[in-house]
Structure 1
Amino acid sequence: MQLFVSSRTVLAAALMLSAPLAAQQIDPAEETAKAALEVAPVFDGHNDVPNQLRSRRANQIATFDFTDTTDTGEDHPEGRALHTDLARLNEGKVGAQFWSVYVPSNPEEAEAVQQVIEQIDVTRRLIARYPGALRFATTADEVETAMGEGKIASLLGMEGGHSIGSSLAVLRQLYALGARYMTLTHNSNTPWADAATDTPVHGGLSDFGKDVVREMNRLGMLVDLSHVSEATMLDAIDVAKAPVIFSHSGARAINGHPRNVPDSVLRRLPYNGGIVMVVALPGFLNEERRQWNARREAEAARLKALFQGQPEAVAEAMVAWDKANPEPATTIGHMADHIDHIREVAGVESIGIGGDFDGMPTGPVGFEDVRGYPALFAELARRGYSQAELEMIASRNAIRVMRAAEAYAASVRDMPPIEALIGQPATAQ
């Protein structure tokens, strides 16, 4: 007997067999992350492309193609390509970016002022070259408008208080040029604030440093406490009338690096309304990686002492040490651990993202460049974060902080500019 089976029956059977497989291939965490980033794209607190333009190209960008930078390794002494370009920002669901107009710590403050103006210039020129993808933004409304148009809102953040030359007049003019946050220090102290990685001299903020914070609040410029000492963090929060930010830092309880935020500060952050924009730099995320780096530096110092005047011998011995002591891997999970801790201590309202791409050799495994944000948010979804919480971390918290700073500035519109000079007593407020 011959059996006839209709094509419709065969198709129905095939669909029934394939349905369980299709269901297995859908990751609910990825779907939650995708939904969150669709309505609340990432507002990243720190990206160092402007400094790369300075170091690699002397700020000459007429022939620089920002649509795809994957072949830019030839511009770097170690062959390292940029982490950032327009295509990868789009893939990473980035909707707003604070571009860091960083200049190195410099005791010659007049030189630092010139350099930061040059960095503002090159960044604004870069933004203007790509009007279809980037939009210059200075307010929360402008950020949301750019996001709504599918463009990347592009803001300027100064990294290092030496950029103002210990002058509130310079601070005001840099605000007028578009700078919307300033990191009070970089790796070295300023004449008015202690850094996290330098020997303290002020015990936090000096009297003039407190006036810097007051004038930033009056202007509506965000006070960024990444890079500063714990005492400076606490002094700034004491003085601040608007929310502070940490543009690219982690939680010190998870990784003991002084660049990270201690619990003493995290516990106070909800009362200020500020946020920690969690960094992706492996040495700040993975404590095992930090300890490995300390051992490596100690070994290098030991070898240099043993083989003075013999750099070849030192280099050969370090190659052997590296082979015997591989660098511990840092993953997206380490970054999520910092977010978990901040949520536990300060609440989800206190969290943002500040990758530090192009200011470090690489991000964690799976998050090596700006394409990695969706993977991070999928990891958070797997840990039980709701879509609403993911939206807050991605950009809603950052926009809220900007609005609060703007609202405070508007409320003191009639307050005259602070005229304090460094060395004068602090202004009574």
Structure 2
Amino acid sequence: MISVSNHHEFVELRQQPQCKTHFVFTDIDIADLDIPEISSAKYQLKNGNAIGAYKKDSSNTSIASMSRSNKGKKIVAVAVVLLGLILLGAGIPVGLQLRSSSLLEARLNFVRRLLNESPLIGGSLQTYTESNFTENYNEIRESLVGTILYPIRVPCQAQYLDSVQLALEGIDEITRLISRTKGMRIVLTAEEMEQAHNDGEIGVLLGLEGGHILGSSVAVLRMFYSLGARFISLTSYECSNPWIAAATTREPLFEENIPISITEFGKIVLKEISRLGMLAEIAHLSEPSMMQVLNNAKTPLLISNAIPSAAVLPNVTNLIPDHVLSALSSNGGVLTINIDKLSVKEAIHNINYVRALAGLDHIGLGATSSPRKYALLLAELARDRLWNNASLKKLVGGNIVRVLQKVEANRNKVPLSEEWIPQEEIEGNAYCRYPES
């Protein structure tokens, strides 16, 4: 767990209820920023080094000259102040004022105002023990996060065994913890996210990390939806399942009949996800699976915590090729940038790369284990004329909200699926199933 610096200005951000706004949502290391926190001129004045000595033997001519000079300076100062007031009255954008300032605090104040209006979506919770949960919750509140996308995680090795039970227990655990944590609530829709933010609380949107959790059953999928799950990653990392292929598969699993992309039953699962009004996440899929899902999906998709493959960075997973990013743009979906292992410069480069290739409406921010990173990254982006208020609001979460709203609007637009996975697709694996009559 990463410790949190004692920056009290962040702590108070979300404690006051906000006026109702239309939802829009938001990830940096202070050491990476080359921003002076105090100007050298101010420092010199404070220490007396910039103040010239007064001489008693100055001539009358010098005194008169100084008087005229001071008078001229006063006139210039008044003119500058009047010009500033006129420009402000004419509506000079806050972003322009911000960019003209070299002070980090001025930009952080701007970020705080921005995130009061548009909650940041991101973050994660650890729930192994109650003490860990409390510590992680405090970090999240300090990091300016407004809504957490929280996936229930089940080990890939539990596939064909007790993955469904473990997921049910995971939902029970996080639901109980949140119910007794002041300042948090589980949300089911984009509208409820907005309401939680207006009430000064952190919203938690539950999801499922990997299709292996479903036990290859659309009936189980429907039951998880009824328990509050609102998004699902079709595979988790290195964890293919009988109906769709992950980018890589762990060797010790020795699975048989692993597909190379998505099967016909997988398309049925995808269709049922869409019918329920759930968001499908595809970051861990193989490239053929990604393209087939993008071509078959009827609603926008999410690629979370990923970066463009052109970035070529070490120890970073979820590398997305350019042609997949272009297809995501056509689908209407969003890619959230994995900024956790990136410097500020690298994160901004990748954000701008995805924006240039896929468009502003298809970029968001992924989770980070460094609580201060969101605010500092946004403060740095605010210096760029490319990122005005409206575009920053889309980046911090507005794009994700738009996708959720479109997915929710598709609920029950197609018939319910009653299909079961073909028996031959799970034969040869250790699935324990009661034989059907």
Calculate the TM-score normalised by the size of structure 1: 0.69
- Distance of 1:150 and 1:175 partners within structure 2: 26
Alignment of 1:280 onto 2:339 = yes
- After superposition, where does 1:127-206 map in structure 2 within 5 Å? 127-130=178-181, 132-186=182-236, 187-198=238-249, 201-206=258-263
Q: Which has the higher contact order (CA 8 A, sep 6+)?
A: 2
SS across alignment from 1:392: helix
Query: Does the Cα contact within 8 Å between 2:126 and 2:133 map onto a contact in 1?
Result: no
Deviation at 1:114, TM superposition (A): 1.1
Match of 2:360 in 1: 348
Counterparts of 1:187-336 in structure 2, within 5 Å, are 187-198=238-249, 201-255=258-312, 259-282=318-341, 330-336=342-348
Question: SS state of the match for residue 304, structure 2?
Answer: strand
Deviation for aligned residue 1:354: 1.9
Q: CA 1:373 to 1:422, structure 2 compared with 1: closer, same or farther past 3 Å?
A: farther
CA contact (8 A) 1:352 1:397 kept: yes
**In the TM superposition, what is the alpha-carbon distance from 1:220 to its structure 2 partner?**
0.8
Q: Once the two structures are superposed, what CA deviation does each residue of 1:233-270 show, in whole Å capped at 9, x if it has no partner? A: 11111111111001222221113656222111110112
Shift of 1:116: 0.9
Distance 1:193 1:100 in 2: 19
State the partner residue of 2:170: 119
Deviations 1:385-428 (A, max 9, x none): 1111111111111111110001111433xx22342324589xxx
Q: 2:384, 2:110 → 1: CA distance?
A: 12
Q: Is the CA contact (8 Å cut-off) linking 2:268 and 2:417 kept in structure 1?
A: no
Cα shift at 1:119 = 1.0
Aligned residues: 321
1:252-295, CA deviations, whole angstroms, 9 ceiling, x for partnerless residues? 1113656222111110112211101112342xxxxxxxxxxxxx
Structure 2 CA distance, aligned partners of 1:118 and 1:383? 46
Is 1:405 aligned with 2:417? Answer: no
Q: Which amino acid aligns with 1:177?
A: L
For 1:306, the equivalent position in structure 2 comes to none
Shift of 1:159: 0.7
3-state SS of 2:411 partner: helix
Partner-residue secondary structure (3-state), 1:409: coil
For residues 26 and 212 of structure 1, what CA distance do their matches in structure 2 show?
48
Question: In structure 1, how many angstroms separate the alpha carbons of the residues matched to 2:394 and 2:218?
Answer: 33
CA distance 1:211–1:27, change in 2 (3 Å):
same
SS at match of 2:401: helix
Which amino acid counterpart does residue 223 of structure 2 have in structure 1?
Q
Map 1:87-102 → 2, pairs under 5 A: 88-102=139-153
Corresponding residue number in structure 1 for 2:96: none
Q: TM-score by structure 2 length?
A: 0.68
Do the aligned partners of 2:306 and 2:317 also contact (CA within 8 Å) in 1?
A: no
Aligned partner of 2:434 in structure 1 is: none
1:315 aligned partner: none
RMSD (Å), alpha carbons: 2.7
- Match of residue 47 from structure 1: 124
User: Distance between the aligned counterparts of 1:114 and 1:208, measured in 2?
Assistant: 22
Mind listing any 5+ residue stretches in structure 1 that lack a counterpart? 2-12, 70-83, 283-329, 358-368
1:85 aligns with one of 128, 131, 137: 137
- Asked whether the equivalents of residues 113 and 163 of structure 1 are also in contact (C-alpha less than 8 Å), the reply is yes
Alignment of 1:43-82 (within 5 A): 43-44=121-122, 47-50=124-127, 53=128, 57=129, 61=130, 64=131, 66-67=133-134, 69=135
Q: CA deviation at 1:142?
A: 0.7
Counterpart of 2:211 in structure 1: which amino acid? Answer: G
Between structure 1 and structure 2, the one with the greater Rg is 2
> Is the Cα contact below 8 Å between 1:33 and 1:390 reproduced in 2?
no
Report if aligned partners of 1:109, 1:164 keep a CA contact under 8 Å in 2.
no
Instruction: Summarize deviations over 1:4-49 as a string: whole Å, max 9, x none.
Output: xxxxxxxxx9xx9xx9xx97546664444333222112111x5252
Instruction: Quote the Cα distance in structure 2 between the aligned partners of 1:231 and 1:26.
Output: 45
CA contact (8 A) 1:221 1:405 kept: yes
Return closer, same or farther for 1:35/1:98 CA change in 2, 3 Å cut-off.
Answer: same
Counterpart of 1:218 in structure 2: which amino acid?
R
**Hey, what does 1:420 align to over in structure 2?**
420
Contact 1:180/1:221, CA 8 A, preserved across alignment: yes
CA distance in 1: counterparts of 2:410 and 2:303, whole angstroms: 19
Distance 1:273 1:423, change over 3 A: farther
Which runs of 5 or more structure 2 residues have no equivalent in the other structure?
A: 1-55, 57-73, 82-99, 251-256, 426-437
Q: CA deviation at 1:203?
A: 2.5
Distance in 1 (CA, whole Å) between partners of 2:193 and 2:422 is 34
State the secondary structure of the residue aligned to 2:232. strand
Q: Equivalents in 2 of 1:356, 1:227: separation in Å?
A: 18
**Cα deviations across residues 344-385 of structure 1 (Å, max 9, x unaligned)?**
11011101222154xxxxxxxxxxx23321111112223331
3-state DSSP of counterpart to 1:101 = strand
Ranges of 4+ aligned residues in structure 1 off by more than 6 Å: none
Letter in 2 for 1:347: G
Query: SS of the residue aligned with 1:411?
Result: coil
Give the C-alpha shift of residue 201 in structure 1: 4.3
Question: Which residue does 1:288 correspond to in 2?
Answer: none
Change (3 A) 1:171 1:375: same
Work out whether 1:387 is the aligned partner of 2:389. yes
